[in-house]
Chains A and B, each alone.
Chain A
Amino acid sequence: MSSANPMDLPGAPIMAPGQSLATVTDKVSGVVLTKKTGLAWLGGFAIAFGLLQLMLLAVVKLLFVGIGVWGVTIPIGWGFDIINFVWWIGIGHAGTLISAILLLMRQEWRMSISRFAEAMTLFAVACAAFYPVFHTGRPWVTAYWLFPYPNTMGLWPNFRSPLIWDVFAVSTYAAVSALFWYVGLIPDLATLRDKAESRLLKILYGMGALGWRGSIRHWHNYEAASLLLAGLATPLVVSVHTVVSFDFATSLIPGWHATIFPPYFVAGAIYAGFAMVLTLAIPLRRYYHLQDFITMRHLENMAKVMMATGLVVAYGYLMEAFMAWYSGNTYEMFMMKNRTTGPYAVMYWSLMLCNVVTPNLLWFKKLRTSIPFLFCVALVVSVGMWLERFVIIVTSLHRDFLPSSWGIYAGTRYDWAAFIGTIGLFLTLFFLFVRVLPAISMFEVKTILPGSGAHDSGGRGEEA
């Protein structure tokens, strides 16, 4: 039973005053239905689509020549591909956190940001999936050791390998995120169907809405389904980055073989994810005039989550260094010394600057509520999280046990093309999403309007 009206809590409101059911519908659906395709949208889309062509180039070259076009060699068998895979998967976590964990905790401010954060999750997972698939070099022959299916060779995947766990974790995550997102869209697609003027749009949105008519009997099952999906997605989102961290932690490489990895990876994922949500939310609310729904309160709350998870990540860095020293293990101690003073020391110290120093600036309310500053911090955190994965993967591999097998790694131009290309893919999908689908969950926002009656005796998330 939520006793306090969410609108009365201290701080900025979670919605600008004066909203009604009609204004919520009109403002949010208007972005899709009545607003003209603006020049800024076209320009942004053109840039994103241009970057996507780099990915095409990188893939074509890779498939013609082989993964020799990438910088990965022995001993550094994992490079940009795994760095970027972990980076993208991590970014996705914020969407599920907002839509599942914050739903279970009845954080009502999440409602206006959950839709596009979930979309971000899907697009980030799509970008992440690109890397392991193409790292195999020939994706069309790799299915049999990734997925268990009866093949003519009679071979089955090795379920004792964390890499197979990862296949299961990531594909389940992608599937469940897509289901959760689509279920959330159904009532809003019905709104678009009812509001659209053109017959074609009515049919298209109507097909997506599946004939939704807002029946209370339907809502009744729908609410149960949302709550169950949130309950299922919560352990799932924690498990995904845990399993990703097992890829490293179950090996014996100094710098990887650490029990702190699962919690430290999950915190890092949420940290990176909230940075990306902020990066997207700030221009989105400004360009589409959604400041009434994505208020300073949202930005500040996201900044707080980012800072809190940033501190957990900083603790992870500290523990890595501490355990290296405390273990007394020659190789672990050397790994830490090599990280801080070796050939990649610049990366390590930049990482400290981005991920340990920068989030602490958010302790100051003045800085936390400055939108340009927040935007910059979010970008710095994204860079920092990329550097983190670079440091973990490359510095651990390049000088492990035997100096005779040491090496140096750098991404080639095809590595960079693929990376920038996936950023293009992500942005292209996001631009299309905001143009054709409601970026804010209208029906959920309506439940927190004053006098909506949805919460008089409990509301969304209080089925039992």
Chain B
Amino acid sequence: MSDPAPTVAIYGLLAEFRGPHEIVAGARLLTEKGYRKVDGYTPYPMEDLAEALELPRSVLPKLVLGGGILGCLLGYSLEYWASVIAFPLNVGGRPLHSWPAFIVPAFETTILFAAGTAVVGMLALNGLPHPYHPVFNVASFAKASRDGFFLGVEASDPKFDRAETRGFLESLPGVVQVSEIEP
């Protein structure tokens, strides 16, 4: 790929690796070198790569815990309000606040809210839906959902230098090709 005029701003550089082991090794070297705005693009989840890029633990579990607690409280409050305040119904003298009977719907709303938080939270943390992204401009990137392993370095990284970073990426073992990502 011939370099366009260096004055044109780019989003970053994208290096394609031969396989999963090479990309993990490459990510470790990039992290060691001090690059932080690095992202991997792989056809399946790779915990090793997340570790190599020193990604922090996902905050999703805490959100889901919150969602579950909220669902439980809302569900139980609804039951209490409907059965005791809004529509008290005397069935054979049984207590209006029959808490054992209220467990089941409250359990279900707990699960419902927690699962909803897991899905909405995952999408929100990932910034999805996000139909356009500069990496899609690279022709070979379609392979990332099939059998391609890519590492992208963003131009906004303080250590990013168009020529130097490109040279470094090309020197990594197992790199097939380095492409520029147009914004």
Contacts and interface: CB of A to CB of B under 8 A. Distances in A.
| A, B assembled together | yes
Interface of A: 20-22, 25, 148, 154-160, 162, 164-165, 168-169, 172, 175-176, 179-180, 182-183, 187, 190-191, 193-195, 206-207, 210-225, 228-229, 232-233, 235-236, 239, 243, 246, 443-444, 446-447, 451-454, 456-460, 462-463
Max chain A C-beta neighbours (<10 A), residue from B45, B53, B129, B142: B45
B40 interface: yes
Interface string B76-119: 00110011001101010010001001101101110110111011
Contacts of A232: 64, 68, 111, 114-115, 118
Given A155-B87, A211-B131, A222 B122 contact: yes
Interface stretch (B2-10, B143-151, B161-169, B171-179): B143-151
A22 B40 CA distance: 19
B13 interface: no
B24 interface: yes
B41 A229 contact: no
Contact of B50 (A20, A155, A164, A219): A219
Nearest to B20: A453
9 contacts: A21-B43, A22-B146, A156-B87, A158-B83, A160-B101, A211-B133, A215-B41, A221-B122, A452-B20
Given A21-B43, A22-B147, A194-B142, A457 B51 contact: yes
A175 B129 CA distance: 20
B127 to A, nearest CB: 8
B121 interface: yes
Interface of B: 19-21, 24, 39-51, 53, 55, 58, 60-61, 64, 68, 78-79, 82-83, 86-87, 89, 91, 94, 98, 101-102, 104-105, 107-109, 111-112, 114-116, 118-119, 121-123, 125-126, 128-133, 135-136, 141-147
Nearest to A246: B104
B146 A210 contact: no
Contacts of B118: 179, 225, 228-229, 232
Given A213-B133, A219-B45, A228 B60 contact: yes
A20 to B, nearest CB: 7
Contacts of B128: 210-212, 218
A148 B106 CA distance: 13
A21 B147 contact: yes
A239 B55 CA distance: 36
B56 to A, nearest CB: 9
Nearest to B142: A194
A239 B107 contact: yes
Contact of A214 (B48, B79, B107, B145): B145
B65 to A, nearest CB: 9
Contact of A458 (B47, B82, B115, B144): B47
B112 A224 contact: no
A214 B42 contact: yes
A148 B126 contact: no
B46 A216 contact: yes
B60 to A, nearest CB: 4
Contacts of A462: 47
Given A148-B78, A172-B112, A216-B50, A224 B43 contact: no
Contacts of A228: 60-61, 64, 114-115, 118
Max chain B C-beta neighbours (<10 A), residue from A206, A224, A239, A459: A224
B146 A215 contact: no
Contact of B89 (A148, A158, A236, A457): A158
B76 to A, nearest CB: 10
Max chain A C-beta neighbours (<10 A), residue from B42, B43, B78, B102: B43
B44 A223 contact: no
B42 A216 contact: yes
A176 B67 CA distance: 14
Contact of A25 (B55, B68, B89, B147): B147
Contact of A224 (B44, B60, B105, B132): B60
Given A25-B43, A220-B58, 12 more contacts: A25-B147, A156-B83, A191-B145, A195-B146, A210-B130, A211-B130, A211-B131, A216-B42, A216-B45, A219-B42, A225-B119, A225-B122
Contacts of A183: 119, 122
B78 to A, nearest CB: 6
B95 to A, nearest CB: 9
B55 A220 contact: yes
Contacts of B109: 168, 172
A169 B107 CA distance: 9
Q: Across chains A and B, which 8 residue pairs bring their CB atoms closest together, nearest first?
A: A453-B20, A21-B147, A216-B40, A225-B122, A156-B82, A210-B129, A219-B45, A211-B130
